Structure 1
Amino acid sequence: MIKMAQLEDIRKMYFIEDLSIREISRRTGMHRDTISKYISMKEPKPPKYKLTKERKHPVLDPYIPIIKQIIEEDKTRHRKQRHTGTKIFEILKKEGFTGGYNTVMDYLRKEYRKQKEAFLPLEFELGTYAEVDWTEAYFYLKGKETKAHIFVMKLRGSGGFYVRAYPFEKQEAFFDGHIKCFEFMNGVPYKIAYDNLKTAVKKILGGSNREEQEQFISLRTHYLYESTFCRPAKGSDKGGVENAGREVVRRFFVPYPEVDSFEELNEYLHKECVKLLEKNPKWEAERAALRPLPKIRFDGARYKEAKVNRYSMVQFETNWYSVPTIYVGEKVTVKATADEVKIQYKGTIIASHPRIYGRNQEQIILDHYLELLLQKSRALDNTKVYKPQTLAPIYEQYRRSLNARSPKGNREFVRILMLHRDYPPALVTEAVEIAMAYNVYSYDGVLNILGQLMVSNIPEINPVSKDKLQNIPEVVVISPDLSKYRVLMPGGGQ
């Protein structure tokens, strides 16, 4: 790279000494084009260094294979759940990297190209404005990669947010997300901004006007807040919650959480949200500025009329749920929330099931069929309502032993299963285990053992200690004069 002194010499030789470009090239050894460039400069400045060869990374070089491995693995992951530069830097530090953050970022810029979007700075009064949106993230549900739909509500005054995870974005989840967020915040913002979600908007009328869904209007009316909607395809209208959604995915879902249920996933998300909000200096002040919650909780369930078929099953969407067999042929009401399905008959709940998230599946409760099995006990071996794997192994062992000893073994077994309705399940299981150990194979035998277990499980009443008795004030009982009543006795009390 030419130095400023050399540039000065070249210009002096040309403008003062009146030398030709050819002669200057001969004296300096520089190419004539280079000399021409420096002579033609209107305002001579120190030449800037231009990198023509890739810079080496002596500190980073041993860790580049790790970076490349992370980048390759990220190509198979969902876009929103790839490692950021900060995450990669943290991983390298754990591996022993002693270089700086900028060293890592300089290298990563070759791999990541990200266009930055500009936003106007906004400011909101506490408690007045919130934004709601859905985002998606993946996690391991019982070891299987599963998509979660994340409901995000962000308060713009403090920037605090709360989230809930669902297997879908249906109306029941949309309403449940509001209910859970409002109750966590212990209040309701005065205005909430939404995207043009189908669960809220029936039709876009133009400009800011919307024809809203009736159910959504009932939610808004219950909590007494105003709604506003973004322009179509303009996510920047609610940029706060968009950013919160990205933060949720990056912070809470990298790496993938591993859980056994959506309930467990939501417990994890709750704890993570609380950790963040504890560091937010404006959070408590914003909560205090919210509109108070109504006294009655909003009913966000979806209702549907149905008829119980001959297999004592009720259909909701593409799935089937069992009810007690006495309701076969009856018309019932299905009440579906985000995570539960309840079936009502004339206002009384006759069955409750965890909601099925797949398609064309069944949810069967054995207890619903026990009366029918009592009448048709021979069918126990082939009916799909009895699944031995859903009970403790001792039950199937005991059933087989009953059948080996009596032609009515299945009937006796069904009666034993009915004991779960009146006794603690753990005690019934213990009674069956004891009966098996002592070769007692009958319903009456199990019932007798169960009765003894119930007596032995009554908690003992501990006698009052002498120390406590000393603290009880002495009570003096005055005996009445009974002689006055002698006159009432035969013979005048003589």
Structure 2
Amino acid sequence: MIKMAQLEDIRKMYFMEDLSIREISRRTGIHRDTISKYISMEESKPPKYKLTKERKHPVLGPYIPLIKQIIKEDKTRHRKQRHTGTKIFEILKSEGFTDGYNTVMDYLLRKEYRKQKEAFLPLEFELGTYAEVDWTEAYFYLKGKETKAHIFVMKLRGSGGFYVRAYPFEKQEAFFDGHIKCFEFMNGVPYKIAYDNLKTAVKKILEGSNREEQEQFISLRTHYLYESTFCRPAKGSDKGGVENAGKEAVRRFFVPYPEVDSFEELNEYLHKECVKLLEKNPKWEAEKAALRPLPAIRFDGARYKEAKVNRYSMVQFETNRYSVPTVYVGEKVTVRATANEVKILYKGAIIASHPRIYGRNQEHITLDHYLELLLQKSRALDNTKVYKPQTMAPIYEQYRRILNARSPKGNREFVRILMLHRDYPPALVTEAVETAMAYNVYGYDGVLNILGQLLVSNRPKMNPVSKDKLNNIPEVVVIPPDLSKYKILMSGGGQ
């Protein structure tokens, strides 16, 4: 490929000096075919170099099949959880690749179309003054099953630090819990927070920047004393900082999929990852110090709903049902639901507490709520779904079966044994049942007797009272009554 100055000389020699192509070739050393091509060009600039054969990759070549396999598998994954160039480079390094990051990126970029990116103005924020909130989605393995998580993200724009929490949904109680957990993690509140037009915060979009807000959202903002601002409809770039933070959180924390047994375990993992990331942020501690102090009392982010206890001693909330003690059948109660828990109140007092069910048309039953009813209907113990032996230590069901075989009232005796958990430590009751079975003792009275012995043997030893303290205790003399005065009553009365 010739340079522009050579092209200029060739065209001048041909068009202005009337030299032949052969003569120009002799003077310049450039092949006649090349000179002919450049003279016939309509535009006076050299053509770009074009590859006629695919460029070889002597170092990357052996790893190209692995790259293609990763890209192929990513097409079946969710868009936000595909491998980045950095991730692919790290995988190649672990496989023995010795060249640089740019070699990998050059190859990857040729497989993608260049997209025109929107331009933004550079922004700068004072520490502690401004934050952004958003939801994003990620997938993980919950007890081995691929599950969607809704990720609440809060980013402080002064330092660029962010904190995330995972929830099974984006309902209002999760929205509030995300704020509470982020504020408590940061140990402060920013002065202003930017939001999308979320239904949990906005009832109706009015003209311009005006919004009709949800009452509970106003309550949250009033409690923590911060200002809120909302993005223009369909303009997520108004809070691009938190959107980028959400993408970064998904790529850093969810590629590959984390494997956990609960949302609580997932949030513990996310907390540790956020802490590790923020330890590298030089402005994070300064931004935390600039935040508004937390209020003395935590905001109540629960959702309340009135309900009625049905004849199965259960209360329905959304599509799921939760048990309460049978004494409340037919009563009106209040359901208090947070992102993780459901509590049921009667006249202000908590009568039942359950973990929040995330699925649909499911039940959460507490055996203790039905024990009084089982005393009356003990024969139903074998068939009722309130008693699930697999949720208890195996010794209980073994003991119940033998007890039931020995006595027609075995189930009733067993229910009375279960009631001991209300007054004694569960581990001690279990030990008493194991001991009773070992000594061939079957029945409530026998288990209770053994439990009493275990309590005495496990009681901490008391130091004897010293003689000096005993000497200081005053002696109390009790004069016995004269019983002869009562003989008159036995003789029929008299003076």
Alpha carbons of structure 1 residues 47 and 471: separation in structure 2 relative to 1, 3 Å = farther
Alignment partners' CA distance in 2, 1:62 and 1:83? 19
Alpha carbons of structure 1 residues 54 and 430: separation in structure 2 relative to 1, 3 Å = same
Alignment partners' CA distance in 2, 1:492 and 1:342? 66
Alpha carbons of structure 1 residues 157 and 373: separation in structure 2 relative to 1, 3 Å = same
Alpha carbons of structure 1 residues 216 and 16: separation in structure 2 relative to 1, 3 Å = closer
Map of 1:194 onto structure 2? 195
TM-score by length of 2: 0.88
Alpha carbons of structure 1 residues 30 and 364: separation in structure 2 relative to 1, 3 Å = same
Alignment partners' CA distance in 2, 1:88 and 1:285? 35
Map of 1:351 onto structure 2? 352
What stretches of structure 1 of length at least 5 have no aligned partner? Answer: none
Instruction: Verify the 8 A CA contact 2:38 2:46 in the aligned structure 1.
Output: no
More moved, 299-308 vs 108-117:
108-117
Partner-residue secondary structure (3-state), 2:136: strand
Superposed CA deviations along residues 457-490 of structure 1, whole A, max 9, x for unmatched, are: 2345699999999999999999999999999999
Alpha carbons of structure 1 residues 255 and 470: separation in structure 2 relative to 1, 3 Å = farther
Q: Post-superposition shift, 1:251? A: 0.3
Alpha carbons of structure 1 residues 98 and 461: separation in structure 2 relative to 1, 3 Å = farther
Superposed CA deviations along residues 423-466 of structure 1, whole A, max 9, x for unmatched, are: 11111111111211221111111111112222222345699999
Alpha carbons of structure 1 residues 11 and 475: separation in structure 2 relative to 1, 3 Å = farther
Alignment partners' CA distance in 2, 1:258 and 1:40? 66
What stretches of structure 2 of length at least 5 have no aligned partner? Answer: none
TM-score by length of 1: 0.89
Instruction: Verify the 8 A CA contact 1:486 1:493 in the aligned structure 2.
Output: no
Alignment partners' CA distance in 1, 2:291 and 2:309? 45
What is the identity percentage for the equivalent residue pairs of Structure 1 and Structure 2?
93
Alignment partners' CA distance in 2, 1:464 and 1:279? 60
Alignment partners' CA distance in 2, 1:486 and 1:191? 91
Partner-residue secondary structure (3-state), 1:493: coil
Superposed CA deviations along residues 188-236 of structure 1, whole A, max 9, x for unmatched, are: 1111000000000000002111111111111111111111000011111
Q: Post-superposition shift, 1:296? A: 1.3
Q: Does 1:366 align with 2:367?
A: yes
Q: Post-superposition shift, 1:418? A: 0.6
Map of 2:245 onto structure 1? 244
Alpha carbons of structure 1 residues 23 and 336: separation in structure 2 relative to 1, 3 Å = same
More moved, 278-287 vs 32-41:
32-41
Q: Post-superposition shift, 1:38? A: 3.2
Q: Post-superposition shift, 1:21? A: 4.6
Alpha carbons of structure 1 residues 167 and 50: separation in structure 2 relative to 1, 3 Å = same
Partner-residue secondary structure (3-state), 1:206: coil
Instruction: Verify the 8 A CA contact 1:124 1:157 in the aligned structure 2.
Output: yes
What RMSD in Å do the two structures reach over aligned CA positions?
7.5
Instruction: Verify the 8 A CA contact 2:7 2:45 in the aligned structure 1.
Output: no
Alpha carbons of structure 1 residues 270 and 30: separation in structure 2 relative to 1, 3 Å = same
Alignment partners' CA distance in 2, 1:462 and 1:327? 47
Alignment partners' CA distance in 2, 1:22 and 1:324? 107
Superposed CA deviations along residues 142-183 of structure 1, whole A, max 9, x for unmatched, are: 111100000001010111111111000000000111111111
Alignment partners' CA distance in 2, 1:16 and 1:276? 68
Alpha carbons of structure 1 residues 5 and 476: separation in structure 2 relative to 1, 3 Å = farther
Superposed CA deviations along residues 269-296 of structure 1, whole A, max 9, x for unmatched, are: 1111111111111111111111111111
More moved, 177-186 vs 465-474:
465-474
Instruction: Verify the 8 A CA contact 1:2 1:47 in the aligned structure 2.
Output: no
Instruction: Verify the 8 A CA contact 2:381 2:411 in the aligned structure 1.
Output: yes
Partner-residue secondary structure (3-state), 1:145: strand
Partner-residue secondary structure (3-state), 1:320: strand
Instruction: Verify the 8 A CA contact 2:403 2:443 in the aligned structure 1.
Output: yes
